Amino acid sequence: MARAQSASLDRKKLFADPVMVTTIVVLIAFLTLFILYPLAILLVDSIYSPEGGLTLRFFQESFSKYTFIRAITNTLKVGFLVGILSALVGLLFAYVEVYVKVRTRFMSGLFKVVSMLPVVSPPFVLSLSMIMLFGKAGIITRHMLGIYDNNVYGFWGIAIVQTMTFFPVCYMMFRGLLKNIDPSMEEAARDMGASRFKVFTSVTLPLLLPGIGNAFLVTFIESIADFANPMIIGGSYDTLATTIYLQITGAYDKNGACAMAVVLLGITMIMFLVQKFYLERKTAATLTGKASRARMLIEDKSVTVPLTVFCSAIALFVVLMYVCVPFGALFRTWGRDFTLTTRWFEQVFTRYKGFKAFQDSFLLSLIAAPITALLSMIISYLVVKRKFKTKGFIEVVSMLAMAVPGTVLGIGYIRGFAGGVFHSGFLQGIYGTGVILVIVFVVRSLPTGTRSGISALRQIDKSIEESAYDMGAGSLKVFTSVTLPLIKDSFLSGLVTAFVRSITAISAIILLVTPSYLLITVQINEFAEKGSYGIACAFATILIIITYGSVLLMNFIIKHFGTSRKVKEVE
């Protein structure tokens, strides 16, 4: 029994489709060169020294350092806590939005703004305001409560700030999933006598399980890969990302940094594989090609009141933290002199080349965003809907990038491209230019986009595309006329997410940026580290306005031109 003929026919059918073949070849080249290769170089650097050949010396040295061991345990502790907390809070917010009838417009507006705020801001903004609110000179701790020695630096500081930063990502993921659950399934359970809670635990929750794993994974990896928050609010509580950064920028120990980076990569990779293995078995299509009806919202007060109160409390806390930032930019000296001033904003543009910083950041992100969004939708389409030999490779590698912390990728790029590919000088030209920054932006946002694209596509009945294909549409036509319109929302949000992620990126970029490019995030980081909170806040405020504006624009577009428009009109 041989399956040779079908394999060869499938191959022939594939090659009869030049668009597909070109796409696949380009994708494989891109993924290999910009994801696999830099990581491979890291691995080589960590076990090979030009003098001694193959060696485990660098690992032995790293593991013999107490600081490194402590950094590992610190990182894991924070990661687990933040992963769990973010998933829980994110789920709660999404549930309230999709299932619960929120009484007032103010409330629902508050939810949306609050959940979006952390997504659109550079991560260290929360660290900044945490210090400004609860630190030694904090408004709340010192001026309101009279506590003069509160220590926000360390484990809880990082954990709280990271949870506030990452739960909205979970919220967005859960919202997408919940909206795709066919309400009649829940109605069926309710109808059979299940209580509201029972419906949640026996229908909604099991359907969400892969999504919850997903959310935890995303947050966990984000948390242990996070560089900016531990840098600013970690104090002496070092995590792997910061330790590695200091190893290469401070100690100039390239091989040591590579060895540590491999360890960090190993941890994220294991988490990633555990999740992947678990997800594969649990994925189920919950939506067919047939039209679905609207959901009956929960109006029962015993459910709505506690949920809304809880969410509002978190919401207000987050709002407070964000309000802090523009005020930080408007006061003369935070904690001492609360006279209003515009001097920090003025200085941003007059003394610190603010305009160039915004121009550079904006332009590079604007180039990266559409490339990322399109690339991730194409990858999702290929992975979910098509059958071909190298599909596994594309799927694994593009998802793999998710498990690669920015710091690790940054070091990989330094080692891999500073002297050209394999030190041959090939592609050396891109090192230190905007091109490599754009590529890093793309690679850093690709997994998120691909993940959301895949989950959106998995919900769409395969036969919808098959029928277009069957009716005579080629791959490109199927993709543009059926797939893309059906996941338009997902594409648009991918576009904006990629833009926002790029313009707020720091961890890999800080290792690769050269003086010819001024990036806002790098500036904020610099001034925050120096303790110039006024300037840092001014930069951050303007950055928040840009990113928040783009998200508002996206929501406007989705609302008026999105997939759900026609369905909404019907209702």
Give residues in contact with another protein (CB under 8 A): 1-7, 9-10, 12-13, 16-17, 288-292, 461, 463-464, 466-474, 477, 481-482, 485-486, 563, 566-567, 569-570
The answer to whether the beta carbons of residues 503 and 361 sit under 8 Å apart is yes
Polymer length in residues for the chain:
571
- Helix (H) and strand (E) counts in the chain: 28, 4
* Closest distance of CB 2 from another protein, Å: 7
Residue located via tokens 């986009």: 449
The answer to whether the beta carbons of residues 231 and 222 sit under 8 Å apart is no
* Closest distance of CB 509 from another protein, Å: 38
* Closest distance of CB 7 from another protein, Å: 8
* Closest distance of CB 471 from another protein, Å: 4
Cα separation, 201 vs 180, in Å, equals 17
Q: Select 1 or 309, whichever has its Cβ closest to another protein.
A: 1
Q: Select 350 or 481, whichever has its Cβ closest to another protein.
A: 481
Task: Retrieve residue 49's tokens.
Answer: 């020294």
Task: Retrieve residue 4's tokens.
Answer: 């040779």
Burial class (CB in 10 A: 0-12, 13-18, 19+), 190: middle
The answer to whether the beta carbons of residues 437 and 517 sit under 8 Å apart is yes
| Cα Rg of the chain (Å, integer) | 24
* Closest distance of CB 16 from another protein, Å: 6
Q: Select 82 or 460, whichever has its Cβ closest to another protein.
A: 460
**289: which residues sit within 8 A by CB, 6+ positions away?**
460, 461, 463, 464
Q: Select 361 or 459, whichever has its Cβ closest to another protein.
A: 459
Residue located via tokens 């996941």: 487
Q: Amino acid identity, residue 326?
A: P
Q: Select 346 or 466, whichever has its Cβ closest to another protein.
A: 466
* Closest distance of CB 305 from another protein, Å: 34
Q: Select 209 or 473, whichever has its Cβ closest to another protein.
A: 473
Q: Select 149 or 569, whichever has its Cβ closest to another protein.
A: 569
The answer to whether the beta carbons of residues 366 and 373 sit under 8 Å apart is no
DSSP 253-302: -HHHHHHHHHHHHHHHHHHHHHHHHHHHHH------SS--PPPPPB--HH
Q: How many C-beta neighbours within 10 Å does residue 292 have?
A: 14
* Closest distance of CB 21 from another protein, Å: 12
The answer to whether the beta carbons of residues 374 and 492 sit under 8 Å apart is no
Using DSSP's 3-state secondary structure scheme, residue 100 falls into strand
Q: Select 431 or 469, whichever has its Cβ closest to another protein.
A: 469
* Closest distance of CB 380 from another protein, Å: 17
* Closest distance of CB 566 from another protein, Å: 5
The answer to whether the beta carbons of residues 243 and 253 sit under 8 Å apart is no
Q: Select 112 or 477, whichever has its Cβ closest to another protein.
A: 477
Q: What share of the chain is helix, strand, coil (3-state, %, to 5)?
A: 75, 0, 20
Q: Select 325 or 382, whichever has its Cβ closest to another protein.
A: 382
* Closest distance of CB 321 from another protein, Å: 40
Cα separation, 522 vs 540, in Å, equals 11
Q: Select 11 or 198, whichever has its Cβ closest to another protein.
A: 11
Cα separation, 484 vs 288, in Å, equals 17
Cβ-defined contacts of 281-285 (< 8 Å, 24+): 282/209, 282/210, 282/213, 283/210, 283/458, 284/207, 284/210, 285/458, 285/459, 285/461
Task: Retrieve residue 460's tokens.
Answer: 């769409």
* Closest distance of CB 468 from another protein, Å: 7
